[in-house]
Chain A
Amino acid sequence: MRRARTWLPGLLLVSPSIVAIGVFVYGLIGWNLKVAMSSWHTVISPQRFVGLENLSKLWGEARWDLAVRHAVIFTVAFVGGAMLLGWVLALLLDKKVRAEGGFQAIYLFPMAVSFIAAGIVWRWLMNPAPAERASGLNLLFDRIGLGFLANDWWQNRSWGMAAMAIPAVWQMGGYVMALFLAGLRGVSEDLREAARVDGCTEWQVYSKVVIPQLRPVTFAALIILGHISLKVFDLIVAISGKQIITDVPAVYMWAMVFDAHDFAKGAAIATYILLAVALLIIPYLVFVVRTERQA
């Protein structure tokens, strides 16, 4: 261990950030937990400690159950859709393609746009009006002879949340493509060539050599998409506002805080969002830190 005189200045230089993260991340998470376990249900109500009551009371409540169901449907559609799209785009671009940079730029640009701005145009595109009042994509489908594709998008009572994932897939598909492309390029050409020399078909080269090497990238992409999905908020607000039909935990929490002023309930919902993200992220961080140590 080096002498304190050499490392102490370093600690001092980082200390403002340590304090800030300590207070704003860990301190406020603790404080939020305290609010979630209080009886602060209106602006003026007393803040007594009520234990886990708020957290357990959510289950079985119709709106909460619906929000959780929506979040699950959205997550499956969004993560699955973005992984598939990104993977297909990466495979198409993997071998030298003319104007590759141009293609990449087009698939990636939606990421630079806010969910709010994207939501405006996607709400227009996913207009559910049928028949002669049709507009947006439904009208386009009708014009190009794909009328059977017309549907009521996010206003569908059972699977609307899957339609809600379409704009999110549009925004994040390019990101997954970039991750996979970096992964694919990281698999050395010598290794692929060796497999080919050994008589592997091009398909076998991918399934036996390339794909197993992409496991860490796939893992990273799943985690990143998954945690974005659990937090989804802007997109839903931009497309449907606070309608129950597209409610997710983050929007429900917003409604509780802003409209109902039920801070305890809002904090309880926020606690569940944090728990879901932590379950996903902590194993990932352990994995990342461990591989870094080994390197």
Chain B
Amino acid sequence: MTTVSQAPPPSALHRMRRRLRGRPSRTGGQAFRLVLLLAFVLIFLIPVYVLVVTSFKPLSEADPSTAWSLPRTWTLDGWKAAWDNLAPALWNSVRLAVPGSIISTILGSLNGFVLSKWRFPGADVVYTLFLFGMFIPYQAVMIPLVQLMTSAHLIGDISGLILAHVVYGIPICTLIFRNYYASIPRELTEAARVDGAGMLRTYASVILPNSAPAAAVTLIWQFTSMWNDFLFAVFLTGPNTWPATVRLNNIAGSMVVPYSQQMAAALLASIPTLLVYLLLGRFFMRGLMAGALKG
């Protein structure tokens, strides 16, 4: 009797067994793994080193022979020039990505709610048709989209670009919210329904208060993809409304812009998404997983 009650739980047993068996080789293997992991870290960070180091170099050190050394004199000239060049485009990106990701999230939440908790006949078909929209190459709609936007006088306008991103973002946002809401117990919505709450009341009282985690995922996902998008922007905007990516590509494409300024501009344009990633990486990961339809 006592022996039974004192037997360690299975998981502890695993740990014990493993410790007994693998000890000596384990520490060696672990060190080897750590060395490999650190080597990969070095390789992954090479581009970052180049970006940072080059961005602080003065023009006089632009020689290829010193390409990999630290700047002898650190200067902010490259950053200043890059800021002057890029600031209006960065502002355009903000005007695109902030409202765009908020609208996407609202739409995703409403769609996800209906498709998981307030279903109508054919809801599965609608969902599958949405999913295909997530994967289409946007080239396949670009020419007619430009025609459509032109006739709606939205070409060269930020609101046209927002519209495009919001519409083509519907599938992924719906998917994320639908999968998330599926984990809310059916009894909760049913109880609200029995209490006589209509659809919107049920949404507002049961679903909406539980939406924060999924909303974080879609906000981050949509913000990042709108901020980093180049394809829609290059087709739908003009010089005054270019977001940071298009402006950045023009800066880099011009042969007269020194590398220090190019690298500083690339860093400037990446800072917002990198910050989002560093601060909210957990949610970013969930968005990535949803992209693989893993919920």
> With A114-B228, A227-B135 as given contacts, are A35 and B67 in contact (CB-CB < 8 Å)?
no
Q: Is the interface of A mostly helix, strand, loop or mixed?
A: helix
Looking at the complex, which one of A98, A119, A139 makes contact with B252 (CB distance below 8 Å)? A119
Q: Once bound together, how far apart are the Cα atoms of A6 and B248, in whole Å? A: 51
- Taking a contact as CB atoms under 8 Å apart, the answer to whether A89 and B40 are in contact is yes
Interface string of A9-26 (1 = CB under 8 A from B): 111011011101100111
Assign chain A's interface to a size class: 35 or more
A211 to chain B, nearest CB (A): 18
> With A21-B170, A35-B143, A274-B140 as given contacts, are A117 and B266 in contact (CB-CB < 8 Å)?
yes
> With A9-B199, A139-B67, A285-B131 as given contacts, are A14 and B115 in contact (CB-CB < 8 Å)?
yes
Looking at the complex, which one of A8, A106, A116, A190 makes contact with B245 (CB distance below 8 Å)? A116
Q: Which one of B154-162, B208-216, B285-293 is at the interface?
A: B285-293
Nearest A residue to B50, CB-CB: A121
Looking at the complex, which one of B121, B129, B288 makes contact with A175 (CB distance below 8 Å)? B288
Nearest A residue to B200, CB-CB: A9
Q: Which one of A56-64, A157-165, A230-238 is at the interface?
A: A230-238
- Taking a contact as CB atoms under 8 Å apart, the answer to whether B277 and A234 are in contact is no
Contact residues of B between 69 and 115, Cβ < 8 Å to A: 107, 110-111, 113-115
Contact residues of B between 144 and 176, Cβ < 8 Å to A: 144-145, 147-148, 164, 167-168, 170-171, 174
B59 to chain A, nearest CB (A): 16
> With A109-B277, A257-B142 as given contacts, are A20 and B170 in contact (CB-CB < 8 Å)?
yes
Say if the beta carbon of B188 comes within 8 Å of chain A.
no
Q: Once bound together, how far apart are the Cα atoms of A136 and B128, in whole Å? A: 46
> With A7-B118, A10-B118, A32-B140 as given contacts, are A111 and B44 in contact (CB-CB < 8 Å)?
no
Residues of A contacting B119 with CB < 8 Å?
A: 7, 10
> With A32-B143, A135-B64, A143-B68 as given contacts, are A25 and B136 in contact (CB-CB < 8 Å)?
yes
Pairs A-B, 4 closest by C-beta atoms = A114-B228, A135-B64, A112-B277, A274-B140
**Can you name 23 A-B residue pairings with CB atoms under 8 Å?**
A10-B120, A14-B111, A17-B111, A32-B143, A93-B37, A97-B30, A97-B34, A107-B40, A107-B44, A112-B284, A114-B228, A114-B273, A116-B252, A118-B266, A120-B252, A124-B50, A234-B231, A250-B139, A257-B143, A273-B139, A273-B140, A285-B131, A288-B131
User: A residues engaging B (CB < 8 A)?
Assistant: 1, 7-11, 13-14, 16-18, 20-21, 24-26, 28-29, 31-32, 35, 89, 92-93, 95, 97-98, 103, 105-125, 129, 133-136, 139-140, 143, 170, 175, 178-179, 182, 189-190, 193, 196-197, 220-221, 224, 227, 230-231, 233-234, 237-238, 241, 249-250, 253-254, 257, 263, 266-267, 269-271, 273-274, 277, 281-282, 285, 288-289
